[in-house]
A and B are shown apart, each in its own frame.
Chain A
């Protein structure tokens, strides 16, 4: 093992300072008394109170969560199916087009995806609102889910499924009883990814929504276009806190599971 040099220490310190300082400042100024975000005038939580009394923000948050739950769930189902088709269905007509349509949305600029979907919804005369945002989010999120799930499926030992068939399962039972429980962690992270993408999306939602539905990112965007606002800082702090707690909990849980697994495996080797 090489010595951990001063150069590396400096790179890591500066790199992580760059990544985290802006967010720390954001959180810090959310507790500022002054309306001028950058002038410190003492500690206060009044912006949180104001935020929670602002009905428009609460409505937007509710719409966003609704959209995220529906679209990520639907995207997980469709994306898992698509991953299974990509990895397991073998050759079929139009397979190239299919995998192209799975990978294209990952690199497609959001402005184009949004524009295209909007033109479709207008073309078929669909009333725009929560429903159209859910359709749009499902479409691009399912591609992310299918990438996550299919990378898990490719490392999946196919003989496990064959063993299930051999022991009397129908193909669907084999999927339900063997494949799904084993790939469940990937499916869950696919869902989480879809959920965050939906929570986060501004551009596609702006294109595909109608006057009836405003999501939180749309609301934030129109508020911050005119400059910084302490209310948005408060909102950002809440969102950062939720994500941080969630990610840290998840990583601790999965680390614990990995440690337990390693311990069991070592015990099994010793017992031999």
Chain B
């Protein structure tokens, strides 16, 4: 009995506030836009009984999804989100791997401090971290001032409100997610493995490529997914740094909902985004599972 209550409370909470809302999204994505409030039809009228249910289902259709394919705004936004997420994941890896590697090679007594320094930004507000780049990247920002002063450029670079700014923002905010799993994979690496590789005739670079890199692969994969998945649906970074040029699906959904008040289309956008996300999420889960099994 007590066990039942213990299970039931969090279970019901999640059902009511997580699963049911998604079913609503799914349902509205199949409905038509209406000018009334709430701005969609049909509404499920339970009082009408079986007839109500039948008419409810008969009015559901895939119109909104068809609409998504006809208006090229949407598929461009999906493609551009995928592209931005992929490129910024690769960039984050390039920045994060050397840092993680250096951390793992640092003297043991430094490591807790270094680790704390990586985690610390994670506790500070995401919004503030993105905002901090606005002052740096703008035309009269710090970066342009420094470059002008150094004489490297004559006219300010337009970085703010471009996709480049989005890349910088993503790399900056998601860097800890990349560093931590790679670091934990590299830290476990037994130093004698590298010595064994060199003993067997590898150069340092070969030893890195043949031993260190493959053994940190699980960390790399985990880190990449941890950056890629949230970037795909990102809203704050493109809307603050990307300006109107950057097309990302999180922003499109937000505007569809708040500006156009087209709930059915916003819901359809959400459903498609979820479907796109399922693949990397499943791959990520499988990688984690494999790693757990390997570690016993």
Contact with A along B37-66 (1 / 0, CB 8 A): 010000000000000000000000000000
| Contact assessment for A84 and B132 in the assembled complex, using a CB-CB cutoff below 8 Å | no
Kindly state whether residue B18 has any CB partner on chain A within 8 Å.
yes
| Contact assessment for A112 and B274 in the assembled complex, using a CB-CB cutoff below 8 Å | yes
Partner of B135, one of A8, A25, A116, A172: A25
Contacts A111-B253, A200-B126 given; indicate if A85 touches B235 (C-beta within 8 A): no
Closest to A170 in B: B2
Interchain nearest-CB distance for B115 vs A (Å): 9
Interchain nearest-CB distance for A150 vs B (Å): 12
Interchain nearest-CB distance for A23 vs B (Å): 6
Interchain nearest-CB distance for B51 vs A (Å): 21
Interface size on B, residues (CB 8 A): 83
In the bound assembly, the distance between CA atoms of A115 and B253 in angstroms comes to 9
Kindly state whether residue A160 has any CB partner on chain B within 8 Å.
no
In the complex, chain B residues 20-51 whose Cβ is within 8 Å of any chain A Cβ? 20-22, 24-25, 28, 38
In the bound assembly, the distance between CA atoms of A25 and B21 in angstroms comes to 42
Interchain nearest-CB distance for B105 vs A (Å): 5
Interchain nearest-CB distance for A69 vs B (Å): 17
In the bound assembly, the distance between CA atoms of A94 and B14 in angstroms comes to 12
| Contact assessment for B14 and A101 in the assembled complex, using a CB-CB cutoff below 8 Å | yes
In the bound assembly, the distance between CA atoms of A115 and B261 in angstroms comes to 12
Interchain nearest-CB distance for A5 vs B (Å): 8
- Interface SS majority for chain A: helix
Contacts A25-B132, A117-B21, A227-B134 given; indicate if A101 touches B15 (C-beta within 8 A): yes
A251 contacts which chain B residues (CB < 8 A)?
112, 116
A111 contacts which chain B residues (CB < 8 A)?
233, 235, 250, 253-254, 270
For the complex of A and B, the 5 pairs showing the least CB-CB separation, nearest first, are A109-B233, A116-B21, A15-B99, A11-B98, A8-B102
Instruction: List the interface of chain A (C-beta within 8 A of B).
Output: 1-2, 4-5, 7-9, 11-12, 15-16, 18-20, 22-23, 25-26, 29, 36-39, 78-79, 81-82, 84-85, 89, 92, 94, 97-98, 101-102, 104-105, 107-112, 115-117, 119-120, 122-123, 135-136, 138-139, 142, 146, 171-172, 196, 199-200, 202-203, 207, 217, 220-221, 224-225, 227-228, 232-233, 236, 239-240, 243-244, 246-248, 251, 255
Contacts A19-B121, A26-B132, A111-B233 known; 15 new A-B pairs at CB < 8 A: A8-B106, A15-B96, A16-B99, A16-B117, A20-B117, A23-B132, A36-B140, A78-B9, A89-B7, A97-B19, A115-B270, A220-B128, A228-B135, A243-B120, A247-B119
